[in-house]
Amino acid sequence: MSEVLTLPAEARAKVGKGASRAMRRQGRVPAVIYGGKEPPLAIHVEEKLLVKQLDSGHFLNSIVEVHVDGAIHRTLPRDVQFHVVTDRPVHADFLRISEDSTVTVNVPVRFVNETASPGLKRGGVLNIVRHEVELRVPAAKIPDELVLDLTGFDIGASIHISAVTLPEGAKPVIERDFTVATIVAPSGLKSEEASAEGEG
């Protein structure tokens, strides 16, 4: 389960390009909180703090409690826009969520037990088809990662999403049993097999 992050913010009195530029010069990033049957709330957050949370690597999969004027808004970051040249964040969108909300998130896949894979032991190569899987999941149960156990998989194996244990209530957005990774023969072994076939 992803940790809940906290982000202090202040309400924005002025909106528009000029006001946003002035804010960025002061080290603040304009943002908006929307959804949840409430009107959008224009806010601004400290750039350094936002960058620190972005650097955690799982900011977009984490619940972020945005504190504005004494009120706590439980949100999920939906988008962060970056400056094309400096790569600094220039705007952020936060979606209001409740405890029983179901949200769509991209969750990274981590592969374990490579030494227990006969295919990898024989020099096979793990070909990752999907580094992330898009899941519909209860907001209270967003995972940091999905773990895929490579035990027993040999060269030629296709490893599907059904081999991954998903959190309770989570479903992949793609409904078919899609491939997450394959174990392919090393190029040396492929060329040996090809030349043997050519001789036959």
Q: What is the pTM of this model?
A: 0.69
Mean pLDDT, the chain, whole residue set: 85
φ/ψ of 122, rounded to 5, equals -85, 10
Average pLDDT score over residue span 86-100: 88
Q: Residue 5's pLDDT is what?
A: 83
Average pLDDT score over residue span 187-194: 55
Mark whether 82 and 161 lie in a shared domain. no
Average pLDDT score over residue span 87-115: 89
Range of the domain at 118: 103-199
Mark whether 110 and 83 lie in a shared domain. no
Domain count, the chain: 2
Domain with residue 163: its CATH number is 2.170.120.20
Residue 200: pLDDT band (50, 70, 90) is very low
HEC string of 101-133 equals: CEEEEEEEEEEECHHHCHHHHCCCEEEECCCEE
Given 97, 112, 143, the domain boundary residue is 97
Mark whether 29 and 108 lie in a shared domain. no
171, two tokens:
């479903």
HEC string of 132-184 equals: EEEEEEEHHHCCCCEEEECCCCCCCCEEEHHHCCCCCCCEECCCCCCEEEEEE
7, two tokens:
């982000």
Mark whether 45 and 91 lie in a shared domain. yes
What pLDDT digit, counting tens, does each position of 63-91 carry?
889 999 888 998 989 889 998 888 889 99
